[in-house]
Amino acid sequence: MAQAILTIDLEALRGNWRALAALSEGETAAVVKADGYGLGAAQVARALAQAGARRFFVALAEEGAALRAALGQGPEILVFSGHMLGDTALIRDFDLVPLINNIDQMLRHVEALPGAPFGIQLDSGMNRLGMEPAEWAALRDIALAQNPVLVMSHLACADEPDHAMNARQLQSFRDMTDGIEAPRSLAATGGCLLGADYHFDLTRPGIGLYGGLPFADAAPVVSLDIPVIQTRELQRGETVGYGNTFTASRPSRIATIAAGYADGLLRAMGPKASLMAGDTPCPVAGRISMDLIGVDVTALRQVPESLSLLNRHQTVDVLADWAGTIGYEILTSLGARYTRVYHGA
């Protein structure tokens, strides 16, 4: 079989949720947008529900509908994009909670679904989603009279604990919400780690659940093993792959493995990347192509049937450093061609 195997450790996922939940005295939710950060929202959310999560956040109403089908009735599913045009039937039929981002969404929601639950998203300085202070001041009394289930905002620089933006956003959020009765939320993973001042009534970790920074104590959740299709013996001076970017400096053995940028293995990571055979690193030889990667396995006595790219040595953030990106992009880029295996269901 040439298909690579992506293994998801659901017990590690649950352990990460419990560890982050233990940091706060309030409720802890879970963010499972982008198909559970690429790992399968249905399986991820069911595992987190077993751990105790009762609120889940998604990006789009369509994601919420799919998640409701997986979770059934009971857990609350909140939608970051709010009540968009065309979302009414999904919000109603799948019992979703839109996070209202502006006055147009507020009017749409109360007119189309009077009495249906909703939350409010405020912009405390990120300039992305949510009501700005002036819009919130104009709408505040009307919105609060409708009893929102949550009032939230999002930190822009929480992965940098000493960044001045964190304190500015905290103050802005307090200025907009102190004294309200509705539950409040400001902290995602980075905010969970900033301390109790940022926790309010609900924290909503995302990347930390899946083993990514800034939660440095997270247990690894994913591993990726890629089959070896073929090996070649090279003489000194022979080249590998497109553009002849790898030239053998000695007699070498090259393994060709069955994955590439079509599977989310970013081409930019190639020059720094390696795979593991047990504890032995084997560097990528040449460019990452669409479906294939050459790997220098000269150091191995015997070439295994597969090589490991994601593992306890090489986390999503290690791969991200190789590619000059972040762990979020590595996770959410993982392609559909992998055979996904779930442990600890």
Tens-place pLDDT, residues 232-271? 999 999 999 999 999 999 999 999 999 999 999 999 999 9
> Which of 277, 282, 280, 264 shows the shortest CA–CA distance to 323?
264
pLDDT of residue 2: 80
Q: Of 273, 269, 279, which is closest to residue 299 (Cα–Cα)?
A: 279
DSSP string, 326-341: -HHHHHHH--TTSEEE
Which domain-ending residue is among 210, 240, 270?
210
Q: Are residues 144 and 232 both part of a single domain?
A: no
User: Which residues, 6+ apart, have CB-to-CB distance to 141 below 8 Å?
Assistant: none
Residue partners of 247: CB distance under 8 A and separation at least 6: 237, 238, 239
Please tell me whether residues 140 and 247 are part of one structural domain.
no
* Judgement on whether residues 198 and 315 belong to the same structural domain of the protein: no
Cα 22 to Cα 15, 97, 124, 192, 224: the distances in Å are 11, 26, 26, 10, 29
The candidate with the shortest Cα–Cα distance to 213, out of 192, 243, 228, 198, is 192
CA 130 to CA 315: how far, in whole Å?
33
Residues 64, 173, single domain; the answer is yes
Work out how many domains the chain is built from and give that number. 2
d(CA 185, CA 122): 10
Active site residues: 33, 242
Structure tokens at 99: 């996070």
Yes or no: say if 183 and 144 are a contact pair by the CB < 8 Å rule. Answer: no
**Are 170 and 294 part of one and the same domain?**
no
Q: Which domain holds residue 194?
A: 10-210
What average pLDDT does the segment 297-302 reach?
97
- The dihedrals phi and psi of 138, each to the nearest 5 degrees, come to -75, -30
pLDDT at residue 312 is higher than 80? yes
- d(C-alpha 272, C-alpha 251), whole Å: 21
Same domain, 205 and 276: no
pTM > 0.85: yes or no: yes
Residue 206 and residue 242 in one domain: no
**Residue 84 reports pLDDT greater than 90:** yes
- Is 1 within the bounds of a domain? no
- Contact between 131 and 99 under an 8 Å Cβ cutoff? The reply is no
- Answer yes or no: do 170 and 232 share one domain: no
* Tokens 């690429």 -> residue: 38
Query: Strand 96-100 relative to strand 76-79: parallel, antiparallel, unpaired?
Result: parallel
Residue 1 reports pLDDT greater than 80 = no
231 and 183 housed in the same domain: no
CA angle 175, 178, 180 (to 5 degrees): 130
Q: What does the pLDDT look like over 96-131, one tens digit per residue?
A: 999 999 999 999 999 999 999 999 999 999 999 999
Per cent of the chain over pLDDT 90 is 99
Q: Are residues 152 and 256 in the same domain?
A: no
Helix (H, G, I), strand (E, B) or coil at 236: coil
